[in-house]
Amino acid sequence: MESKRQLQIARIVKENLSSVLQIHGFEIYGRAFVTIATVRATSDLGLVRIYFSVFNAENKDNEAVLEALKSNLNPLKKRLGLKIRNKMRRIPELEFYLDDTMDEVFKMDEVFKKISEEKTGEEE
């Protein structure tokens, strides 16, 4: 169970990092559409784990976006720090993770469609 302060820190980081990525995301990972799904802060508030999803019609290269975010970690942290410096004493370390929940939803949806089509074919 996360404390009230952990939830508060996670919300602040999510809101401000989202705006940083809106402004500077194109420089980092190109035309991919990246959304921050979840942010979780550790109990000591020194680390936040950022789970993000990639929606891109051109290519679904999630690993390339993850590597681009990791390689630009210091500039991202600096820009985030400029936005939240009046709200927090210490800027937490950032860790990025892929959130593939939506990919799994689409896969399951395809499976259910196939099952439904097979049932419809058997009934006729």
Q: How many domains is the chain built from?
A: 1
- pLDDT tens track for 49-78: 999 988 864 556 788 899 999 999 999 999
Residue 90, domain extent: 4-123
Sign of CA dihedral 74, 13, 34, 1: positive
Residue 124: pLDDT band with limits 50, 70, 90: low
CA atoms within a 13 Å half-sphere pointing along the CA-CB vector of 118: 6
Asked whether the beta carbons of 76 and 82 are under 8 A apart, the reply is no
Indicate yes or no: pTM above 0.85. Answer: no
Instruction: Write out pLDDT tens, residues 21-43.
Output: 999 999 998 888 889 999 999 99
- H/E element, 84: helix 73-84
For residue 57, the domain's CATH number is: 3.30.300.20
C-alpha span between 27 and 42 (Å, rounded) = 29
